[in-house]
């Protein structure tokens, strides 16, 4: 018995030692008859920020939502292929998407705090997953999450004020705090700054860079400057294909594919 | 390509086309104003009619007499045994009242050619029963002479309200000039007067002969029990069905058919639900006739589509981003619905439910078929089982019942009943509006 546990642990360690946190192979996504994602292969590393860029409708958000199976909520959507997190197939029949989403947090395009207090917004995840045994522990988790969301100092005096009363940028950082409160390993961000002004955007970007220490962050963005600023790896999607994937510096300075070059230089998109 | 040539027209002069458009707009505004004016006019006419005809029902004419409660008549054995006193029927009380009337006329110094029987005929046929009930409640009053306020009959009441006049009396065998003279004299004496009549709101219906004694109270209790059944059944069933259809059900042709049919059910005439209730609940399941339980079940069927439609609409109006947010932190589908979507939809659901209840409260047609119309609810139910299972009427059914009776005094009560019903409906709608105002969230 004991040996088994140890060997399992070894396997785990081997897997986490593997650079790819998320490995996608031959992923196809269909919306009804539309083939939205075509044969995408990508390896996303731990403790890196990976940016997905590309013109509207290229499938980058769709692919992002495959990673925590948010596409399951769309009836007509069908995913084929293989996405593994730490070597485990997340589309395996035994995987409960609810458990997966606790491990893979998500921040959405529009800040969407619950119409509850700031405290309850952050405490909701830990509560439903039973992460805190008592009120004091929950308080700690909430404080830690709000600190990580770089919003603690602004809201610590009004934790019981409604989350919807914050400014747009604060709301988005609150949503990030809410997402990290459940201790995820991967953080997916779907255009997190598109509804924010430049100052709020700068704050969120700074935060993303800090979050890299603890999480593997995947961010979809329309802004190439943002991708260049925050990410280490960049993937360029075009018409459902992953055209190019590599180090951000390289994508922006010496793209291999002519389509990437056209997009980056502003000729398409 | 056509060449665009500058027209050179001045902006200060309206061209023909603009003038035409402006005229059309002005005309449309006029139509709209006219429509609203017609609507308002109708509303004013409706309300003034109801109020002018109905308020009379809330007042009733009473005459105060000093009644000697003779022990020799009411309790011959003199032992104040309730069982014995109960044996004395209302006929035993009638002579006391005649005597009291004679006494009053004599005391007030009124000269009249009427015999005591004709004097007592001015009292309501209900008066003796009222006095008897009073005595039965407190047997110790026997032997005393008490001052008692008796209902007068509907002719006297009508005379005070202007419904009966000395001209209309010619065709009326129930009252004659000498009696009206006596009434006038009693008014002058101050012992006969019109006052607010609480019994109209709390009392039971009365038979054809005693319109002055009829009240809405028992029918109100019937309506209350029906609404209880509707609320207890339609709200949970409706909300559960809506949540399932809106949040969980796959979108396919089966759910499409269900959806279309729910919308169609909302438009089905209510009498269809009535005959369904008669066939299923009474003929097949043998539930009692005229029972508020059956009425409530029928009205539940009728209200369900309304509640489902409004609940689905309010669930739909919760932004999907809230669902995403809940799912995104790892809530299950059910948690996201019950923790986030449902609380946000609750004001809408409550509003829809109250509107549905208000609609059910005013519904008459289905009650016709299950026997709740035409029944005279004379006793208030005691307890919940009796309230649900004993024959009763409902407010709109009671109004219909009064409106079709011959005596014009009942007609007045029908209008009065409408006022009570409207008060209930307006209150419910106001609660709905308040709830919506109070709990509506914006995001």
Neighbours of B201 (CB within 10 A): 16
Residues A208 and A153: their CA atoms lie apart, in Å, by 18
Q: Which of B255, B254, B250 is nearest to A75 (CA)?
A: B250
Q: Searching chain B, which residue's CA lies closest to the CA of residue A114?
A: B322
- CA distances, A174 to each of A9, A126, A179, A220 (Å): 35, 15, 9, 19
Q: Which member of A70, A115, A129 has the closest CB to residue B324?
A: A70
| Cα–Cα distance for residue pair B337/A11, rounded to 1 Å | 39
What is residue A3's predicted lDDT score, i.e. its pLDDT? Answer: 46
Chain A neighbors of B321, CB-CB under 8 A: 108, 110, 112
CB contact (8 A) between residue B330 and residue A125: yes
CB A230 within 8 A of CB A219: yes
Q: Is A112–B319 a contact, with Cβ atoms under 8 angstroms apart?
A: yes
Residue A192 touches partner B, C-beta closer than 8 Å: no
What would the two tokens of residue A231 be?
A: 């990410």
- Nearest beta carbon to residue B325 from set A73, A108, A182: A108
Distance from CA of A215 to the nearest CA of B (A): 15
SS3 of residue A254 by DSSP: coil
> Is A99 an 8 Å CB contact of chain B?
yes
Per-residue confidence (pLDDT) for residue A19, from 0 to 100: 62
Identify the pLDDT of residue A14. Answer: 43
CB B394 within 8 A of CB B197: no
Average pLDDT value over all residues in chain A: 87
This model of the complex carries an ipTM of: 0.84
Minimal C-alpha gap between A4 and chain B (Å):
30
A66, A73, A130, A163, best to mutate vs chain B, most B CBs in 10 Å = A73
Rounded mean pLDDT of chain B? 88
Provide the pLDDT for residue B5. 66
CB contact under 8 A, B330 and A101: yes
User: What confidence score (pLDDT) does residue B250 get?
Assistant: 85
Cα–Cα distance for residue pair B52/B44, rounded to 1 Å = 12
Interatomic CA distance for residues B393 and B325, integer angstroms: 51
Chain A hits for B250, CB-CB cut-off 8 Å, are 75
Within chain B, which residues score under 50 in pLDDT? Answer: 443
Strands B145-151 and A241-247: unpaired
- Which of B250, B328, B332 shows the shortest C-beta gap to A108? B328
Kindly list the residues from chain A whose CB atom is less than 8 angstroms away from the CB atom of residue B339: 124, 128
- Interface probe with B: pick from A128, A141, A180, most Cβ of B within 10 Å: A128
Nearest to B321 among A112, A128, A179 (CB): A112
Chain A, 63 to 92: residues with Cβ < 8 Å from chain B are: 68, 70, 73, 75
From residue B414, give the alpha-carbon distance in Å to each of B142, B220, B365. Answer: 38, 14, 17
Looking at per-residue pLDDT, the higher value among B380 and A248 belongs to: A248
**Interface contacts A/B by beta carbons within 8 Å:** 65
> What pLDDT is stored for residue A21 in this prediction?
87
What are the backbone dihedrals phi and psi of residue B8, each rounded to the nearest 5 degrees, phi first?
80, 5
A25-72 confidence digits (pLDDT tens)? 999 999 888 898 899 999 999 899 999 998 888 888 899 999 989 888
pLDDT at B28: 97
Q: How confident is the model at residue A195 (pLDDT cuts 50, 70, 90)?
A: confident
Ordered by start, the domain boundaries in chain A are: 8-264
User: Which CATH topology does A8-264 take?
Assistant: Rossmann fold (3.40.50)
Judge residue A151's burial from the number of C-beta atoms within 10 Å of its C-beta, 0-12 exposed, 13-18 middle, 19 or more buried.
buried
The answer to whether the beta carbons of residues A62 and A37 sit under 8 Å apart is yes
Answer whether A268 touches B (CB < 8 Å): no
Q: Is the pLDDT of residue A103 over 80?
A: yes
CB B331 to CB A178 under 8 A? no
B contacts of A171 (beta carbons < 8 Å): none
From B306's Cα to the closest Cα of chain A, the distance in A is: 27
What is the model's pLDDT at position A8?
46
List chain B residues with CB under 8 Å of A101. 327-330
Q: How far is the alpha carbon of A40 from chain B, nearest alpha carbon, in Å? A: 23
- Which among A75, A99, A179 has the least Cβ separation from residue B329? A179
CA distance A245 to A149: 28
CA distance B66 to B406: 33
Cβ-based neighbour number of residue B231 at 10 Å? 18
Would you state the pLDDT for residue A140? 93
Tokens standing for A71? 């596409």
> Closest chain A residue to B443 measured between Cα atoms?
A164
Q: How far apart are CA B397 and CA B391, in angstroms?
A: 13
Chain B: residues touching A (Cβ < 8 Å):
250-251, 319, 321-332, 335, 339-340, 344, 441, 443
Residues in chain B: 443
- Please give the Cα distance from B203 to B130 (Å, whole number): 12
**pLDDT for position B3:** 63
Contacts of residue B313, Cβ cutoff 8 Å, sequence gap at least 6: B348, B352
Condensed to tens digits (0 to 9), the pLDDT of residues A216-231 reads 999 999 888 899 999 9
pLDDT at A114: 92
User: Is the Cβ pair A106, B328 closer than 8 Å?
Assistant: yes
Domains of chain B (ranges, CATH numbers):
57-196 (no CATH), 217-439 (1.10.3720.10)
pTM, to two decimals: 0.81
| Rounded Cα distance, B325 and B342, in Å | 15
Task: Report pLDDT for A15.
Answer: 43
Torsions phi, psi for A42 (to 5 deg): -155, 145
Q: Exposed, middle or buried: residue B283 (CB in 10 Å: 0-12, 13-18, 19+)?
A: exposed
């Amino acid at each position: 018995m004991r040996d088994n546990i140890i060997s399992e642990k070894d396997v785990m360690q081997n897997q986490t030692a593997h650079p790819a946190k998320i490995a996608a192979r031959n992923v196809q996504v269909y919306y009804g008859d539309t083939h939205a994602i075509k044969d995408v292969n990508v390896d996303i590393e731990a403790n890196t920020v990976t940016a997905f860029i590309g013109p509207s409708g290229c499938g980058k958000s769709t692919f992002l939502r495959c990673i925590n199976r948010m596409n399951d909520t769309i009836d007509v959507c069908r995913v084929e292929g293989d996405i593994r997190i730490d070597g485990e197939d997340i589309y395996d029949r035994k995987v409960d998407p609810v458990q997966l989403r606790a491990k893979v947090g998500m921040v959405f395009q529009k800040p969407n705090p619950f119409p509850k207090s700031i405290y309850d917004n952050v405490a909701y995840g830990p509560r439903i997953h039973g992460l805190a045994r008592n009120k004091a522990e929950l308080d700690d988790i909430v404080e830690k999450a709000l600190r990580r969301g770089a919003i603690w100092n602004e809201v610590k005096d009004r934790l019981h004020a409604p989350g919807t009363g914050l400014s747009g940028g604060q709301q988005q950082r609150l949503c990030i705090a809410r997402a990290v409160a459940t201790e995820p390993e991967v953080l997916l961000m779907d255009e997190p700054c598109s509804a924010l002004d430049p100052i709020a955007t700068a704050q969120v970007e700074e935060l993303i860079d800090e979050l890299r220490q603890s999480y593997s962050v995947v961010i979809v963005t329309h802004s190439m400057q943002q991708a260049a600023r925050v990410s280490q790896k960049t993937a360029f999607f075009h018409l459902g294909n992953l055209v190019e994937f590599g180090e951000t510096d390289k994508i922006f300075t010496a793209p291999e594919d002519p389509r990437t070059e056209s997009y980056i230089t502003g000729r398409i998109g | 390509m056509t060449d665009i040539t500058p027209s050179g027209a001045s902006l200060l002069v309206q061209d023909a086309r603009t003038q035409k458009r402006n005229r059309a707009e002005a005309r449309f505004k006029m139509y709209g104003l006219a429509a609203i004016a017609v609507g308002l006019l109708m509303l004013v006419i409706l309300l003034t009619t109801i109020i002018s005809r109905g308020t009379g029902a809330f007042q009733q004419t009473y005459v105060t007499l000093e009644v000697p409660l003779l022990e020799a008549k009411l309790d011959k054995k003199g032992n104040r045994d309730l069982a014995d006193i109960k044996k004395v029927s209302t006929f035993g009380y009638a002579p006391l009242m005649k005597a009291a009337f004679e006494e009053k006329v004599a005391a007030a110094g009124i000269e009249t050619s009427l015999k005591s029987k004709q004097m007592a005929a001015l009292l309501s046929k209900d008066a003796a029963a009222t006095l008897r009930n009073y005595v039965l409640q407190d047997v110790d009053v026997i032997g005393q002479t008490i001052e008692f306020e008796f209902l007068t009959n509907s002719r006297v009441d009508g005379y005070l309200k202007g419904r009966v006049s000395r001209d209309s009396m010619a065709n009326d065998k129930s009252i004659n000039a000498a009696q009206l003279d006596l009434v006038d004299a009693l008014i002058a004496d101050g012992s006969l007067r019109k006052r607010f009549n609480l019994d109209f709101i709390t009392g039971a219906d009365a038979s054809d002969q005693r319109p002055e004694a009829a009240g809405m109270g028992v029918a109100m209790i019937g309506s209350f029990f029906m609404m209880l059944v509707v609320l207890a059944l339609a709200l949970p069933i409706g909300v559960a069905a809506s949540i399932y259809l809106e949040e969980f059900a796959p979108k396919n042709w089966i759910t499409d058919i269900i959806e279309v049919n729910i919308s169609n059910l909302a438009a089905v005439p209510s009498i269809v639900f009535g005959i369904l209730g008669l066939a299923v609940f009474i003929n097949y399941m043998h539930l009692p006739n005229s029972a508020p339980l059956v009425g409530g079940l029928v009205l539940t069927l009728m209200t369900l589509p309304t509640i489902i439609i409004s609940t689905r609409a309010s669930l739909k109006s919760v932004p999907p981003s809230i669902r995403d947010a809940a799912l995104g932190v790892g809530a299950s589908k059910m948690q996201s619905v019950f923790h986030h979507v449902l609380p946000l939809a609750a004001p809408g659901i409550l509003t829809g439910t109250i509107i549905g209840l208000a609609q059910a409260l005013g519904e008459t047609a289905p009650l016709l078929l299950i026997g709740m119309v035409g029944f005279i609810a004379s006793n208030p139910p005691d307890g919940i089982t009796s309230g649900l299972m004993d024959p009763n009427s409902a407010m709109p059914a009671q109004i219909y019942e009064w409106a079709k009776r011959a005596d014009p005094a009942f007609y007045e009560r029908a209008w009065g009943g409408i006022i009570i019903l409207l008060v209930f409906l307006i209150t419910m709608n106001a609660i709905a509006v308040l709830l919506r105002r109070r709990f509506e969230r914006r995001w």
